[in-house]
Amino acid sequence: MRSAATTLRRAQRGAVLFIALIVLVAMSLAGLAMMRGVDTGAMIANNLAFKSGATMAADSGIEAARNWLTTTSSDLLQGDKPAVTNGGGYFSTWQEGLDFTKGDADNTNDFDWSTNSVALAADAAGNQVSYVIHRMCNAPGDPASTTCIRVTSTTGSTASSSKGAAAFGTMAISTPGQTFYRITVRVIGPRNTVSYVQAVVY
């Protein structure tokens, strides 16, 4: 009897070690999976932060383009790329069908950012900002003689006068129309982050 019990105890001595090894392997795999999940979450959060930073950096490009428009003579804006500072990123037409992001399979309408845009100095975060301006007209020249997207305003009313003076309706005051300009900004940030922002000004 004693011999059988001793044999049984000897047979069970390795079982606890085997179970402990299995539990240790399972815990190791769970720990690795958790670490990988945390790393992936941190990477996604970092990428979103870089993307947000690049999008905010586009404001400097919009402001630079707006400032250029307001300081450039309207006569020079009737043709492509006027010979003034930063005029290389200006086009007097809307260039229908242009692809700024090169996101389609057809490469014929891809916009060439390297030669047709104005590049600003990189900011402290390493964002490289470039912008291009398109006048919203179908052809170069005087906006009055081309098809342009414009805003026009006319002041006055159709009120009549009882004293014989000119009525507002017959002497309405017209103001010159303002042509719209589309500003497209591309920002290349750290870790190959690329953002595109567009604004329309007049």
Distance CA 158, CA 170 (A): 7
User: Which one, of 101, 180, 115, 175, lies nearest residue 146 by Cα?
Assistant: 180
Residue 150's beta-bridge partner residues?
179
Contact 95, 117 (CB under 8 A): no
What's the pLDDT score for residue 182?
96
Pairing status of strand 128-135 against strand 90-91:
parallel
What's the pLDDT score for residue 154?
52
Indicate if the alpha-carbon torsion angle 150, 155, 157, 158 is positive or negative.
negative
Count of domains observed in the chain: 1
Distance CA 86, CA 9 (A): 89
Percent of the chain with pLDDT over 70: 74
Does the pLDDT at position 80 exceed 80? yes
Question: Quick one: average pLDDT of 22-37?
Answer: 82
Distance CA 159, CA 167 (A): 6
Task: Write the pLDDT tens digit of every residue in 178-197.
Answer: 899 999 999 998 878 889 99
Distance CA 141, CA 148 (A): 11
Please report which confidence band the pLDDT of residue 97 belongs to, taking 50, 70 and 90 as the band edges. Answer: confident
Across the chain, mean pLDDT equals 80
Helices (H) and strands (E) in the chain, counts: 3, 7
- Residue numbers of the domain that contains 195: 2-201
Which are the contacts of 191, defined by CB distance < 8 A and separation ≥ 6? Answer: 46, 47, 50
N residues, the chain: 202
What's the pLDDT score for residue 89?
93
Pairing status of strand 193-201 against strand 181-189:
antiparallel
Better-predicted residue by pLDDT, 200 or 5: 200
Does the pLDDT at position 137 exceed 90? yes
